[in-house]
Each structure stands twice: as C-alpha cells, then as structure tokens.
Structure 1
Amino acid sequence: MEFTTGGRLEVRINAADVGKRVSVRSWTDRRGSLERFTDTVGVLTSWSGGVLRITRRGGETVEIAETALVAGKVVPPTPPRRRGPAASVPELLRVAARGWPPVESAPLGEWTLRAAGGFTARANSVLPLGDCGLPLPEAVDRTAEWYRQRGLPPRIQISTGDPAADEALDAELAGRGWRVERSAVLRTAALAPIADADPGDERPVTLGREPDAAWLAAYGRGGDEQARAVLTGGPSVWFATVPGERGPAAIARCVIDGRWAGFAALQVTGDARRQGLGTLVMARLARQALAEGASAAYLQVETDNEAAAALYDRLGFTTRLAYHYRTPGTSDGGDD
C-alpha cells in the first residue's frame, strides 16, 4: 500500500469523504510486536467523535481513532461486474440481516433471535441458520419464551437453503398449530445494469444519510425510535427522495455492505406511478453503491406484490430464495 507523496506519509481524507472507498494506515499499539501499523481498505461509513468507521468488503466494520491515523486516501471503487452475482444462500441471508438490523438480538446456538418492537417481520423473527444446539422442540419453546418476555408474538423464518432443516422446523411448527403468516422472496441482480437503467425521466434525486420527516411520511411507518433504528442501521445506508409537488413522488432505501447493495422501502405515490420513478430512484442509489465498491444487488419482497415484481424483473433481478414465516399469534407484524 503506497501513501507517499514526495517521500512523506499524508492523511488525505476527512469527514467529507464519508461514503467513499478509502485506504488508511493507522498506528497500532502492540507491546513486544514489530507490527506498528495496520492497513485498512473499505468504505468510510462515518467519521464522528474522533472515530472513523470503515466497512470492509466482507461486511466487517473497523473503528479507528482519528489520533491513530498515519496516512489515508480515497481509492477507486472495484470495477463493477455485469454478470449476476454468485453467492450461497446463507451468505445472502446474513448480508440481508445486517442490512435490516434488529434493535435487539440474541443467539440460540447458530440461530439468531431478533426483536425491534414489532416493526416488520424481518426484524422481529428468528433467523435459523445452522444448528440451534438443542432438540428442536426445546429450541422452539425457548424462542417462544424469549419473544413473550418482550411482548411480541414468536415468529420464525422458514427457508435457509437447507431443505432438510427447513422441512423439520416447518413440520415442528405446523404440528404446534403455528400458521404461515406471509411469504416472500429474496432476489439478486448485477448492480451495474441497474445503475445504467434509463427511467425516461430526468427529475433530480436527493440522497441523505437519515430519513427526513417527508421521507418517513411517504414511507407511512417507521416514525418511532425502534423503527428508525432499523431503518438507519447497516454498514452504509442511504435514503433517496424524488421531490414532488406535495411531498416526495418516490422514495427508496439502500444499504451498502461490501460487494452487496440492498434495496428496500421503494414507494411511488399514486399519481406519480407508471412514470419510471421506481427505476429512477433505484438507478441513482445503484450509482452511489457502485461508487462505494459494490457490484451486486439484493432485495426482499412479498410474493403478492406484482407491481414491484414487474419492475424488478425489468431490472434483471432473479429469485434466489423463497421463504415464509410461522407464528402462533394473530397480530400483524407489518411488512416483511
């Protein structure tokens, strides 16, 4: 890694470079070690309170004290791939979980129990990846108790890419009378073609790191503290808005995590539909994600959302995984 200019190390980044891919060298205090410096490459996701947070390609976030910086510079993003992304289902599910993080989580073996005050099923359900470490009936009992302690209905996602494990868990829950609550799919696509999509509309798209009041009003939910924590959580999150005459004409959210860009919360107001605004806002977010080094896209959408499915088909998304939730309750946890 080369930082020198005229033989000197220089810090050539600052807080204005948040969202860009950077390469930094920092001082490491390791007693008795000859390793005095650590090099880090990734997206600068925040710089506040004297601490930099850099998200590496694999999704790991590294915190570096500003006083430890020895050198730093902005580096070009990884050239985008135009083929569909290759990834295992467990990798995709872990990336998607990081991109829509719960307020509270707890492990049960390799399962993850997630809670966020009831805001969306995804943030208030168990992601049962791997071995729970217990007999299945006992694991379900513990799961149910964990959610009841939080005043939430127990909910478990079914479909992890392991057909045998999914079938066994689904059968256990069905035998207890847990009903299927909703069905959804996880879809992926190459990112560059989305960025190149022509929406046939030249309206401006504004980007921000936080959802403002108008964005939240257009979204229609997410006004409380826990919902806002989910919406703003993730390695590098952007909120896009297409301004309209009476508030946003379209909105969307994108979280960038290494090579992955996750799209969510796409909304187009009724009188602005069929004008290409869905394509417009996703293309703008895709260009931002490319600039941060992402190359692949994913999203999760309920299977009965036909309008969204048609748009995603046109943008090149294909289904990698179908899943559903089971719950013993009757309350609605909102959208997926």
Structure 2
Amino acid sequence: MSDLPSIEALYDVCGFTWPAAAETRVGPWMIRDGQGGGQRVSAATREGEGDWDFDAAEAAMSKLGQPKLFMVRQGETELDAELELRGYQIKDPVNFYACPIAHLTDVDIPRVTAFTLWEPLQIMRDIWAAGGIDDARYHVMQRSTCTKTALLGRWNDQPAGTGYVAIYGGTAMVHALEILEHQRGMGVGKWMMRRAAVWAEEQGAGMMSVICTQANDAANALYTSLGMTLIGRYHYRIKND
C-alpha cells in the first residue's frame, strides 16, 4: 500500500474537496460551520494538545445551531473513549478507498454512458434530491475552490445517476454518487467512476479516492469490485440531549 495515499492525506482531500462554510479554532478543537450540509462539514475534530475542554466545543456547536457531533479519526482511541464516557453514541462509521488512477482508465467507456460537466444540469440536481442530497449539500460542492466537475450517467437512453468529483494534492475524490433506484444494478456506477478517473487524469491527478458508510453494502461492493483498496476508517460520535 506504499504507493497509495495515507489515511491522513485522505482526511485532507476530503476536507478540501467537501469543505465546511467556515472553520474556527476553539482550544484544541476545530469547529465547523456546516450550514446544513451534513456531518462531514459540521463535525468537530481535535487538532491540538492540552485540556480536552469538551464544554467549550459543545457550546460552540450549540451556538451554530448544530448537533453535538465529533469526528473520531483512525487511531484516536483516547478521544473515542472520552466521548463514550460523556454519553456520545457511535454514528455512521465510514470507509476510505483509494487506487491509482490507472486502475480505472484501462477499459474503454461505452459511448453516451457517462459524462463530466460543470455546472450541474437541473436533471442532475433532481437526481441528487431524490437521493437525499439537498440544496445545502449542493452548496458544499459549489463553495469548493478545488478543480472539480460533476458526473452524469445514462443508461437505456435515460439519465441514470450523478456525482461530484474534485481534486486536492494530486488525489481526486468522488462524493455524492447517486444512482436512480430503477437504474441500479446495471453497472452505471462503475462507468461513472471510470469517467471520473479519465477526467481526473486529464487534470494531472494520479490517485482516485472515495468514501462511503460501512452500512452501504452496494457502494462498498462497487469500490472493491473496481480494485480500490480500503485505506482506513473514521466514525462520528453524537450526543442526543
């Protein structure tokens, strides 16, 4: 795995390609203003040493009107234990996958199967909305300053799926990959991932990456079938007051 990005590098890729609206240091914590864009852009992370000062982090998140939510990255066992003692529950364990781009550009993509374009079309936004990827998450894509594009998949002469891909530090990451329910199980996601890789290679990237929840069996099966390697994991802990 030496030629693949480290889990620490992928945390950075994720943060820059799917950015919070604002980040503020509060003691050892990075507090994120997600503006409704989901857990990845609103979870607090520990970025410094010293007093845990959970109360300050919780107050900062409450001030933003956000849940008390922390991201626990791989190896942060002490943080995980402290949060459990404070009544935080594990939520949505996530897998990181990566592979060299060449692993995904070795097969010709069938014509009119997958495209890249920016800005996203209305049909793409409709597909995202059908999968629960709402306007707040769409605004996360819009505010990224990375080199980026959107994916449109077609199957049986009809729109089938959409996604978003952006590049940071030579690694492309795919987010918000959504396939319409009636178009699933036909290989559309595979061709969209390959189209994302072709685009990323044209932009000079050398690696592809993606994240998905451990509970998403279909997505995990897709990425492993493409030869992507599981690099690492993280999970959230949330307090339901």
TM-score, normalising length from structure 2? 0.89
- Alignment partner, residue 261 of structure 1: 172
Which secondary structure does the structure 1 equivalent of 2:105 belong to?
helix
Q: Which one of 3, 17, 23 corresponds to residue 99 of structure 1?
A: 17
Shift of 1:193: 1.5
Rounded Cα–Cα distance in structure 2 between residues aligned with 1:120 and 1:246: 32
Q: Report if aligned partners of 2:5, 2:98 keep a CA contact under 8 Å in 1.
A: no
- Alignment partner, residue 231 of structure 2: 320
- Alignment partner, residue 208 of structure 1: 117
- Calculate the aligned-residue CA RMSD, in Å: 2.2
Q: Summarize deviations over 1:117-137 as a string: whole Å, max 9, x none.
A: 232211110233x42x4311x
Which secondary structure does the structure 1 equivalent of 2:68 belong to?
coil
Rounded Cα–Cα distance in structure 1 between residues aligned with 2:184 and 2:215: 18
Unaligned runs of 5+ residues in structure 2 are: none
Q: Report if aligned partners of 2:93, 2:213 keep a CA contact under 8 Å in 1.
A: yes
TM-score, normalising length from structure 1? 0.65
Shift of 1:158: 0.8
Rounded Cα–Cα distance in structure 2 between residues aligned with 1:215 and 1:317: 26
Shift of 1:84: 7.2
CA 1:210–1:127 in structure 2 vs 1: closer, same or farther (change >3 Å)?
farther
Shift of 1:308: 1.0
Unaligned runs of 5+ residues in structure 1 are: 1-82, 331-336
Which secondary structure does the structure 1 equivalent of 2:227 belong to?
coil
Q: Which one of 38, 41, 46 corresponds to residue 120 of structure 1?
A: 38
- Confirm whether residue 158 of structure 1 aligns to residue 72 of structure 2: yes
Rounded Cα–Cα distance in structure 2 between residues aligned with 1:183 and 1:147: 21
Q: Summarize deviations over 1:18-73 as a string: whole Å, max 9, x none.
A: xxxxxxxxxxxxxxxxxxxxxxxxxxxxxxxxxxxxxxxxxxxxxxxxxxxxxxxx
Which secondary structure does the structure 2 equivalent of 1:324 belong to?
strand
- Alignment partner, residue 181 of structure 1: 91
Rounded Cα–Cα distance in structure 1 between residues aligned with 2:103 and 2:228: 10
CA 1:124–1:156 in structure 2 vs 1: closer, same or farther (change >3 Å)?
same
Q: Which of 1 and 2 has higher RCO (CA within 8 Å, sep 6+)?
A: 2
Rounded Cα–Cα distance in structure 2 between residues aligned with 1:242 and 1:117: 29
CA 1:123–1:284 in structure 2 vs 1: closer, same or farther (change >3 Å)?
same
CA 1:124–1:236 in structure 2 vs 1: closer, same or farther (change >3 Å)?
same
Q: Report if aligned partners of 1:234, 1:255 keep a CA contact under 8 Å in 2.
A: no
- Alignment partner, residue 38 of structure 1: none
Rounded Cα–Cα distance in structure 2 between residues aligned with 1:197 and 1:248: 22
Aligned pairs (5 A) from 1:146-295: 146-160=60-74, 163=75, 166-197=76-107, 201-220=110-129, 221-224=132-135, 226-232=136-142, 233-243=144-154, 248-295=159-206
Shift of 1:149: 0.4
Q: Report if aligned partners of 1:157, 1:324 keep a CA contact under 8 Å in 2.
A: yes
Amino acid paired to 1:307: A
Rounded Cα–Cα distance in structure 2 between residues aligned with 1:111 and 1:192: 38
Whichever of the two has the greater Rg, that structure is 1
Q: Report if aligned partners of 2:13, 2:167 keep a CA contact under 8 Å in 1.
A: no
Amino acid paired to 2:104: I
CA 1:84–1:308 in structure 2 vs 1: closer, same or farther (change >3 Å)?
farther
Rounded Cα–Cα distance in structure 2 between residues aligned with 1:223 and 1:303: 22
Q: Report if aligned partners of 1:206, 1:241 keep a CA contact under 8 Å in 2.
A: yes
Amino acid paired to 2:5: A
Q: Report if aligned partners of 1:84, 1:189 keep a CA contact under 8 Å in 2.
A: no
Shift of 1:309: 1.1
Runs ≥4 residues deviating over 6 A: none
Rounded Cα–Cα distance in structure 1 between residues aligned with 2:28 and 2:83: 19
Q: Report if aligned partners of 1:240, 1:253 keep a CA contact under 8 Å in 2.
A: yes
- Alignment partner, residue 34 of structure 1: none
Q: Report if aligned partners of 1:116, 1:227 keep a CA contact under 8 Å in 2.
A: no
Shift of 1:182: 1.4
Rounded Cα–Cα distance in structure 1 between residues aligned with 2:229 and 2:205: 18
Q: Larger deviation: 281-290 or 266-275?
A: 266-275
Amino acid paired to 1:282: M
Shift of 1:238: 0.7
Amino acid paired to 1:115: D
